[in-house]
Structure 1
Amino acid sequence: MDLSPYLSYFFTCFTTLFVIIDPPGNLPIFIALTEKFSDEMRERISKRATIIALSILILTMVTGGKILDYFGVSINSLRIAGGILLFIASVDILLGGTRKEAYKRRAEESIDVDSIAVFPLALPLYSGPGAITAGIVIYSQASDIFMRAIAVLSAFLVYGIVRLSHIYSSPIIRLLGRSGADIIARIFAIFLAAIAIEFVFDGLYGELLEMGIIG
């Protein structure tokens, strides 16, 4: 049995989700949102946010294709729309972004720990439109049950890294510094922009192919 297609697919799934979800780049935002809470509360927020984000992504990955079919939306249309959203997000990160301040204001306005875990941490920070779109797209590319399992496993691994980044947030931030984490986020944003353009081109190519404009 040739394992190379499966290894290649795993690498594609893992790197795509890792770059989009961006655990190290989002770590300063997590810290900013939870810095006023005790360690016990931060642990509770982290666990809840990670589980909810993972659940959202897995659910949309598995059912997204059927939902698109129900509404008559093609996967190519999703690629184009998702690519545009990802590109906008990447530009926002590269330019410094407004996400951090907006999310921090949200945390300062709320004393509800569970509410913060759901919004803005789980959604949209760790399972936003970009991650959901990427999850649906890569899952739709799976040709058999093993590849589908690989896509799901990749999501588990990425969110496992998210959870570890929360657990070791203090030493990671001490090592990287706030500016170091921001630099990593901007580097990932460049790759995110490239993935976004690839999504758009793949979607356009697929649409043109289906319309018979190109052969």
Structure 2
Amino acid sequence: MSEVTYYIKIFIAISVLVNPIEGIPLFLTKTGNLSRDQKISIAKKTSVAVFIILTVSLYLGRYLLELFGIGIPAFTLAGGIIIFLISLDMILGKSKSGDKDIPDDPGKNPADIAVVPLALPLLAGPGAISGMILYGSKSNGLEGDIFLTIIALLVSMFVLISLITASRMEKTLNQTGINVLTKVSGLLIAAIAVQLVFSGLQQMIPSLNNP
């Protein structure tokens, strides 16, 4: 696999795990009475928060693994299992955007949703964080870190564009379209998760490489 193909694969994986389209219902529900400028401001704050969460996971994750003595094979296996469980929720319809039913707090500023729960845990949730830690731990040095940082930036821009165009996208896709995209994304994530689990097992049990 070429480097370009490898990083494209990572970009697709992280984008699907973040899945900004699934955050649209919550965003629209909580910002319905705000002006367009206020909505854009919240979208910007959310995208920045997602970028910070992903990059912190990228750069600090590997040191946390070293601190707790967790090997890459074990984390690859655990990360694969977590991501697979998330993919099952997506496929079976247990949508993350169910958080839109969180009751409104009259005393709360609507802009507060930008970080919690929109950026964390809805978008940059356990799956995306695990993915960044996993790929960061496999980075080949400064060059790899730069590429992964660019990927985090591109994913954050994807979040920004999705939220800014949320109203238009919801009208175009409607809830059924969003559900279909979520299920298809779940299938893709499930395949990636199974590959991660198998890769982790191969590293932990070398005999699996020679059946």
Fold equivalence (TM over 0.5): yes
Contact map agreement 2:83 2:189 (CA 8 A) in 1? yes
Matches within 5 A, 1:32-51: 32-51=29-48
Give the structure-2-normalised TM-score.
0.88
SS of the counterpart of 1:12? helix
Per-residue CA shift, 1:2-29, capped at 9, x if unaligned? xx83312221221111111112233233
2:21 alignment counterpart: 24
Q: Contact 1:83/1:200 (CA < 8 Å) preserved in 2? A: yes
Alignment correspondent of 1:104: 100
> 2: CA distance between counterparts of 1:74 and 1:107?
41
Q: Which amino acid aligns with 1:150?
A: F
Match of 1:122 in 2: 119
> What amino acid is the match of 2:174?
G
Aligned 8 A contact 1:49 1:122 in 2: yes
Question: What is the aligned counterpart of 1:147 among 120, 144, 147?
Answer: 144
- When residues 214 and 179 of structure 1 are mapped into structure 2, their CA distance, relative to the original with a 3 A threshold, is closer
- Distance, in Å, in 1 between the alignment partners of 2:2 and 2:186 is 27
What is the TM-score of this pair, normalised by structure 1?
Answer: 0.87
Alpha-carbon distance change, 161 to 73 in structure 1, aligned in 2, over 3 angstroms: same
Question: Which residue of 77, 82, 89 maps to 2:79?
Answer: 82
Instruction: Give 5+ residue unaligned stretches, structure 1.
Output: none
How much has 1:116 moved relative to structure 2? 1.6
Give matches, 1:1-215, under 5 Å. Answer: 5-97=2-94, 99-101=96-98, 103-106=99-102, 108-109=104-105, 111-209=108-206
Structure 1 stretches of at least 4 aligned residues deviating more than 4 Å after TM superposition: 212-215
Contact 1:65 1:75 in 2 (8 A): no
- How far the C-alpha of 1:185 sits from its partner, in A, is 0.9
Percent of residue pairs identical: 29
Instruction: Give the Cα–Cα distance (whole angstroms) in 1 for the partners of residues 124 and 95 of structure 2.
Output: 18
Q: Distance in 2 between matches of 1:214 and 1:94?
A: 31
- Structure 2 residue runs of 5 or longer lacking an equivalent are none
Q: Is the Cα contact below 8 Å between 1:87 and 1:197 reproduced in 2?
A: yes
Shift of 1:33: 3.6
What RMSD in Å do the two structures reach over aligned CA positions? 2.1
Give distance in 1, aligned partners of 2:103 and 2:59: 31
- 1:213 positional shift: 8.0
Say whether the 8 Å CA contact 1:54–1:155 is kept in structure 2: yes
Evaluate the alpha carbon distance shift between residue 191 and residue 142 of structure 1 in structure 2; reply closer, same or farther with a 3 A threshold.
Answer: same
In 2: Cα distance, 1:126 partner to 1:34 partner: 17
**CA offsets 1:182-211 (integer angstroms, 9 cap, x no match):** 1111100110111111121111211223xx
Letter aligned with residue 104 of structure 1: K
Q: Which amino acid aligns with 1:42?
A: K
Q: 1:40 to 1:77 in 2, by over 3 A?
A: same
Question: Could you tell me which amino acid in structure 2 is paired with residue 115 of structure 1?
Answer: D
Q: Between Structure 1 and Structure 2, how many residues are aligned? A: 209
* 1:214, distance to aligned residue in structure 2 (A): 6.4
